[in-house]
Amino acid sequence: MTPQQIDLVKATVPVLRENGVALTGYFYNRMLGNNPHLKETFNMGHQRSGAQAQALAGAVLAYAENIEDPSVLLPVVELIAHKHVSLNIQAPDYNIVGENLLHSISEVLSISMQDPLIDAWAAAYGQLADLFIRTEKAIYDQHQQTKGSWLGWRNFKIAKKVVESDEITSFYLSPSDGGELPKYEAGQYISVRVFVAELGLKQPRQYTLSTSPQADYLRISVKREDEKNDLAAGWVSNTLHHLLEGSEIEVSAPTGNFFLIDPNKRNVFISGGVGLTPMVAMLNQLVTLDMPQPVTFIHACRSKHVHAMKQHIHELKAQYPRLSTFTVYEFPHQSDKLDEDYDATGRLDLNAVDRILLSPDADYYLCGPMPFMAEQQKVLLAQGIAAENIHSEAFGTGGVHH
């Protein structure tokens, strides 16, 4: 990019702050209208709620603000690149996005396609697209070199469904072709694609793998959403809950950059609600290694009725003295027993947890709703835990997956 083009892109920052969501909303409508096949790649629930337009507006603004040194965005690029790979997004798709983005800027700002600003954004977008394509190629290459892995979508059968709580069911997925499965890192996720009758379309959704690698199945644990929710956040999740054992779905290969980093360190897992799925996967991975270091498993949920995998954690705790747990029920039922089911009530307050369980030299893993994770991170930093030892995974609308 020329210095003049960089200045032009930077000059659009105030416009993006003010009108970014209007621009990206217009862009998505234009692109999906012109390329309806992409509706099976994009989450239409997030389209309807506006979450996708909001997320893209934030990303475009961040890129414009850092146009002189886009390398500061590399951690975010890597995060998104894994998601793109899980959706089988390919290099030519970037041409479709670029063309529609430039036309949207032209149409929303009422400027000619020959305006120097469009040229500047074309150069900026080309630079960003190249960065994504290179990052994604490295991930695709890794899948090709991993035994049992695959590219794109692969058919799987729902071999078994196991009810884990009033809201969460585990799905055991076996490859329809009977072929091998790859070793993956505990904490990684897959994309699942199913036909959603209400839309007349296939829809993808990301779900964390909820156990360590197994020879003949992948497992996801899915929360059923309230069907009265008009934002349609649960289209794929609720479709899955209605599918019978033996049904076929499409699945992408395990990917993602949130996973257990060092099994030989002390590890502390902190989760809220269905955010416990990557934590159980990591814990199960440590079990296969005979739990080399002490582990703390902290979980917050509403009550015993929605406390998934409670029995599994109890059994591991009885078997491994190095495993300590701390459970918080926000609204315990009368039948829930203090000490047996939970340790505290209300919201999770890490300041109320015994400091012995929160080692200053441990790795900390957070997963749950964004406000939950922000609160826990704030407390951990205040307790002197180093920022580089705190790792988090977002989920839900505006987050990464689940």
Write out the chain's pLDDT in tens, 402 residues.
Answer: 899 999 999 999 999 998 888 999 999 999 999 999 999 998 887 787 777 888 888 888 899 999 998 888 888 899 899 999 999 999 999 999 999 999 999 999 999 999 999 999 999 999 999 999 999 999 999 999 999 999 999 999 999 999 999 999 999 999 999 999 999 999 999 999 999 998 899 999 999 999 999 999 999 999 988 765 544 558 899 999 999 999 999 999 999 999 999 999 999 999 999 899 999 999 999 999 999 999 999 999 999 999 999 999 999 999 999 999 999 999 988 888 887 888 999 999 999 999 999 999 999 999 999 999 999 999 999 999 999 999 998 654 333 343
26, 28, 63, 136: which one is catalytic? 136
CATH classification at residue 163: 2.40.30.10
Residue 393 known to be catalytic? no
Quote the pLDDT of residue 399: 34
Structural domain span for residue 104: 3-145
Residue 302 covered by a domain:
yes
How open is the CA angle 248-233-76, to the nearest 5 degrees? Answer: 95
The sheet carrying 344-345 orders its strands as 344-345, 323-329, 295-301, 267-272, 363-368, 390-394
Residue 232 CA to residue 235 CA, distance in Å, equals 6
Q: Is 140 left (phi over 0), alpha (psi -120 to 50) or beta?
A: alpha
Residue 349 covered by a domain:
yes
Quote the pLDDT of residue 233: 57
Q: Let me know whether 141 and 221 are in one domain.
A: no
Residue 67 CA to residue 73 CA, distance in Å, equals 10
Residue 260 covered by a domain:
no
Tokens read off for 242 = 């209605």
Quote the pLDDT of residue 42: 87
Contact assessment for residue 146 and residue 138, using Cβ atoms and an 8 Å cutoff: no
28, 94, 140, 184: which one is catalytic? 94
Written in H, E and C, the secondary structure of 356-393 is HHCCCCCEEEEEECHHHHHHHHHHHHHCCCCHHHEEEE
Q: Let me know whether 25 and 75 are in one domain.
A: yes
Alpha helices, DSSP H, located in 13-115: 13-34, 44-49, 51-65, 74-86, 91-108
Quote the pLDDT of residue 226: 73
How open is the CA angle 72-74-78, to the nearest 5 degrees? Answer: 160
CATH classification at residue 346: 3.40.50.80
Residue 130 covered by a domain:
yes
Q: Let me know whether 124 and 195 are in one domain.
A: no
Q: Let me know whether 243 and 289 are in one domain.
A: no
Q: Let me know whether 187 and 79 are in one domain.
A: no
Quote the pLDDT of residue 50: 78
Q: Let me know whether 140 and 165 are in one domain.
A: no
Q: Let me know whether 7 and 141 are in one domain.
A: yes
Residue 94 known to be catalytic? yes
Q: Let me know whether 237 and 274 are in one domain.
A: no
Contact assessment for residue 112 and residue 163, using Cβ atoms and an 8 Å cutoff: no
Quote the pLDDT of residue 380: 97
Domain boundary among 114, 145, 176: 145
Residue 402 covered by a domain:
no
Q: Let me know whether 138 and 210 are in one domain.
A: no
Helix axes 116-145, 3-11, angle to 10 degrees: 100
Q: How many residues does the chain have?
A: 402
b (16+ CB within 10 A) / e for 269-300: bbbbbbbbbbbbbbbbbbeeeebebbbbbbbb
Domain boundary among 188, 218, 251: 251
Residue 101 covered by a domain:
yes
Q: Let me know whether 141 and 158 are in one domain.
A: no
CATH classification at residue 27: 1.10.490.10
Residue 186 covered by a domain:
yes
Number of folded domains that form the chain: 3
- The CA-to-CA distance between both ends of the chain, in Å, stands at 38
Quote the pLDDT of residue 92: 94
Residue 399 covered by a domain:
no
Element containing residue 241 per DSSP (H, E): helix 235-242
Domain boundary among 124, 145, 166: 145
Q: Let me know whether 173 and 126 are in one domain.
A: no
- Specify the residue for token string 């701390």: 326
Q: Let me know whether 338 and 294 are in one domain.
A: yes
- The CA-based diameter of the chain, rounded to the nearest angstrom, is 70
Q: What's the Cα-to-Cα distance from 332 to each of 107, 236, 373, rounded to whole Å? A: 54, 29, 22
